[in-house]
Chains A and B, each alone.
Chain A
C-alpha cells in the first residue's frame, strides 16, 4: 500500500525491530547469576537495568505515538479549524 504523506507505524520495519530489541533487553534472560550486586537505588543490578529498559520502552512508545503516526490528523485539524471559523 502506498499513500504518500501519511505516517503509519505498521509500515516501518525498523519500529518493530527496535521494539523487539527493547523487549529482549527488559526480560532478564541474559544476566549471569552474579548480577545481583551492586544494588543501585535499592534495586539488584539486573532489576535496575531491566527497569531502565522499561523506561526506555515508555519513552520510545510515547515518541512513536507522537512522531510516527499521522494519517488523517492534518485533514481533521483543517476541518476543525474551518468549523471554528464559521
Chain B
C-alpha cells in the first residue's frame, strides 16, 4: 500500500521548495533531512515526489533524502552506536538497549538553474 502520509509530505515539500526557489528557476535537486522517529519510507516518498512535481518547475528534480539512524545506548555497558532499527540487542548481551531518534523533517537546500541575461 502506498504510504499516503508520504504523499502529504511530498505536497508540503513541493510547496516549501517553490516558496524558496527564485521565480522561474528550474529546480535540479532537493535535499531533505528526516529523523529516525518519523519512520519515513524513502521509496514511497520518492514515488510521491515524482507524482506531485509532474508538470512543475521541479519535475525531474533529484530528491536527496538524508535519513538519520537511531542512536542506541546500552544501559549496561554504556556502548553507543547507530542502527536503522530501534530495537536491537547489545553485543554485551543486554537485549534492551535504549533507542532514541529525532523527529526532524527539514528542507536543507535546493539546487537550481538560474537564468542569467
- Do A and B form a real pair? no
Q: What is A's interface to B at a CB cutoff of 8 Å?
A: none
